[in-house]
Structure 1
Amino acid sequence: MPMPISGLPESDTPEAAVVVGSPERARNISALLEDSHLVAQNREFVSFTGAWRGTRVLVSSHGVGGPGAVCLFREIAQAGVGKVIRLGTAGSLTEDLSRGDLFIPECAIRDDGVSDQLVPMSFPATAAPETVFSLQRAAESHSEPADRGIVWTRAAFAPEVLSLPVEEYRGAGAKALEMEVATLLVFAAIRRMRAGALLVIDNDARVDDPDVFSYQPNTREVTDGLAKASRIALDALVHQ
């Protein structure tokens, strides 16, 4: 019987998964796999299986934001996934990260709007050390520099009436801003899954801008960064 939200089958699901926000990104990554085929499609949730360097993997999309993403995380956990890497994009909170650069979160600020309803806020959102090191080694093997540090996972895409603490978190050392990593890391810890993330910087988030047209994530630098990051994430996933 298929899962109710993602449509994934309850059995014969690979143990290792790459999760992404965009269905198109899931299709692009699946094209890199051997014997790739579509296994489920429902709403924003599109899933493929295939092989990378001889290891079966799952590639699934979860849409934008923690609430939808945790629906996928719950179902892939139920299906038997034990290792997961989120491949996505993030805004830079430091002058040291520019469009197309790679960033590996070691931990996440839990401002995601979901994880506080799963466990107390004192519970940490930390990536599995094995996954962080595997991502770092994979990036080095591709001769790609990758920074590491704290990511701010925030539920609000842009500010409206309330001011958001950009300067406070920047001052505390947060290097990037995105919308799903904390949700993944907390949920994975609860379910004893090994999880981490690889992010491609797609804009400068040091100054919050409510103008939707100020966000331009489809530049050549970002496209090229995602192409490199896809192979790095797959290598890290199968070599943990």
Structure 2
Amino acid sequence: MKKAWYAGHCADDLGDSAILVGDPDRVERIGAMLTDPVFLPVKRGLKTVTGRWNGKKVSIAAFGMGAPIATILLHEFADLGIARFVRIGTAMFFPPATGGAFLVSEAAIGFDGTSPAYGVPNGETVAADPALAARLSEAATAAGETPYTGLYATYDAFYRDMFGIDAKGNDRADRMRRSMAQRGVLAVDMETSALLAAGQDLSLSVATLCYGTVDALSQEKLGAEALESGERQLFRIALDAITH
């Protein structure tokens, strides 16, 4: 029986679709919402749960941080037969989005090192699956939210390109944020462009839904209470969309 090299799972372990998350603790929290959850053995820190939502079998898997491992997980799951993926998490957002908004990827600009391996040159734009992106927006609206759909940008170096913690990082990140604002970018993260590029290359349906937690221009962060309540809503919206 074929098993994924890094994740260690076989096709029978997984659902018909998958939600990819960064934080492994989110797998526990989403798993608690599922019917008949089965937590799979953890290999290389990759935590996965499979259960049912709306009567459909779905897997939630954590990749940690960054495009390379997120794409490895997607590619392995695709090799085992999954063709529909939603990446969820938090993201830095730009106006007109506001803190606590739900941000749906229409496309993404890849400034990461993984996208070129899947046929999308650095700095080029790759589209999300339009039907899945539309379903995410519909699910968010049905949940009482006002989603924003638009362009993501993906970077590898968090403390240089996204959020500075020293003088050099602050200068570089400030330039990036001004440039992305001028290009009409909605959100910045570390995975979306690579996942969309891999999805395009492998003929998969892939889109991202993020919860806006950091204002890209002011660097103001969402409070802990809003983050907790928004995260649970994020889970529901993604589960509803991917099991539709």
State if a TM-score over 0.5 links the two structures: yes
Going from structure 1 to structure 2, the CA distance change for 1:55 and 1:132 (only over 3 Å counts) comes to same
Q: Is the 8 A contact 1:111 1:155 kept in 2?
A: yes
Query: CA separation in 2, counterparts of 1:107 and 1:144?
Result: 21
The alpha-carbon distance between structure 1 residues 43 and 138, as it changes in their structure 2 partners (threshold 3 A), is same
Equivalent residue number for residue 102 of structure 1 = 102
For residue 190 of structure 2, the aligned residue among 149, 168, 179 is: 179
Q: Distance in 2 between matches of 1:158 and 1:170?
A: 19
Residue 135 of structure 2 aligns with which residue?
Answer: 134
Q: How far, CA to CA, are the matches of 1:218 and 1:67 in structure 2?
A: 30
Q: Which residue pairs with 1:18 in the alignment? A: 19
Contact 1:93 1:175 (C-alpha < 8 Å) held by counterparts: yes
Counterpart secondary structure, 2:172: coil
Distance 1:223 1:180, change over 3 A: same
Q: Is the 8 A contact 1:40 1:48 kept in 2?
A: no
Q: 2:211 aligns with which of 187, 200, 209?
A: 200
Distance in 2 of aligned mates of 1:154 and 1:103: 17
Q: Is residue 67 of structure 1 aligned with residue 78 of structure 2? A: no
The structural deviation recorded for 1:10 is 4.0
Please show how residues 103-182 of structure 1 align to structure 2 within 5 Å: 103-121=103-121, 124-159=125-160, 160=168, 163-164=172-173, 165-182=176-193
**1:230 — aligned with what?**
235
Q: CA deviation at 1:98?
A: 2.9
Percent of matched pairs sharing the same residue: 27
Give the letter for the 2:229 counterpart. Answer: D
Asked if structure 1 preserves the Cα contact closer than 8 Å seen for 2:13 and 2:40, the reply is: no
Match of 1:29 in 2: 30
List gaps (5 residues or longer) in structure 1. 209-213
SS in 1 for 2:64: coil
Amino acid at match of 2:116: D
The 5 A counterparts of 1:201-220 are 201-206=212-217, 219-220=224-225
Corresponding residue pairs, total: 232
Between the aligned partners of 1:190 and 1:40, the Cα distance in structure 2 is: 29
Point out 4+ residue stretches in structure 1 off by more than 6 angstroms: none
Deviation at 1:37, TM superposition (A): 1.0
- Quick one: structure 1 residues 203 and 30, their matched pair in 2 at CA, closer, same or farther if it must change by over 3 Å? same
AA partner of residue 239 (structure 2): L
Q: CA deviation at 1:157?
A: 0.6
Distance 1:2 1:217, change over 3 A: farther
Q: What TM-score, normalized to structure 1?
A: 0.90
Q: Distance in 2 between matches of 1:176 and 1:202?
A: 10
Where does residue 163 of structure 2 map in the other structure? none
